[in-house]
Chains A and B, each alone.
Chain A
Amino acid sequence: QKEVEQDPGPLSVPEGAIVSLNCTYSNSAFQYFMWYRQYSRKGPELLMYTYSSGNKEDGRFTAQVDKSSKYISLFIRDSQPSDSATYLCAPIGPYGQNFVFGPGTRLSVLP
């Protein structure tokens, strides 16, 4: 079993839709859960992160972690064509160790 798994997509949605991006992990030691967005031919940029279980909201983005099921989600409300990118989840251990990225989900928001 891979440490971090994501559905690679591509996921295509119409503009204005609610998008749900998901990630599962196997290492129960992970404590911080990062979401990065990567546009084509660019480096990843940090969107947001959560610590342990729970929800965190930032504008149109909501990150959700369920440590009991080792399941991470990122929700995007009112999706825009500019949200078209690859979304990478990256859980991290309690001391900043184990930098493991998922393979990413490619999202396409159609105008």
Chain B
Amino acid sequence: DAGVTQSPTHLIKTRGQQVTLRCSPKSGHDTVSWYQQALGQGPQFIFQYYEEEERQRGNFPDRFSGHQFPNYSSELNVNALLLGDSALYLCASSGPEGLYEQFFGPGTRLTVL
């Protein structure tokens, strides 16, 4: 049973560019959440998707947007990249049997130059 997978593993972009990160949830899970983790900090909640709709959103600007597909996979898009967007982006999935039990992927390391 594959866990949560994310792609790409690493990414280098320059300021002002746009980036798309991808996530496939754990089998049987229908809810996907995205987090940003700066070095030495805990993950910060960006948003959560369920039934292809954004259900909750953290304190992140509109430059951060997402999408969930019918197969429950998800994308995180960040526009107009800033140096401060450099971080580990984590995807977590959960299912109907345990909304609070989030399983995390390995993350995508984004570096903005």
Contacts and interface: CB of A to CB of B under 8 A. Distances in A.
A88 B42 contact: yes
Contacts of A104: 41-42
B104 A88 contact: no
A44 B100 contact: no
A46 B44 contact: no
Contacts of B90: 43-44
Interface residues of A, number: 23
Interface residues of B, number: 23
B28 to A, nearest CB: 16
B86 interface: no
A44 B43 contact: yes
B106 interface: yes
B102 A88 contact: no
Contact of B104 (A6, A44, A49): A44
Given A46-B102, A46-B103, A99-B56, 19 more contacts: A4-B42, A6-B42, A32-B100, A36-B104, A42-B107, A43-B105, A44-B43, A45-B103, A90-B42, A96-B99, A96-B100, A97-B56, A99-B35, A99-B45, A99-B48, A99-B102, A101-B42, A101-B44, A102-B42
Interface of B: 4, 33, 35, 40-45, 48, 56, 58, 90, 92, 99-107
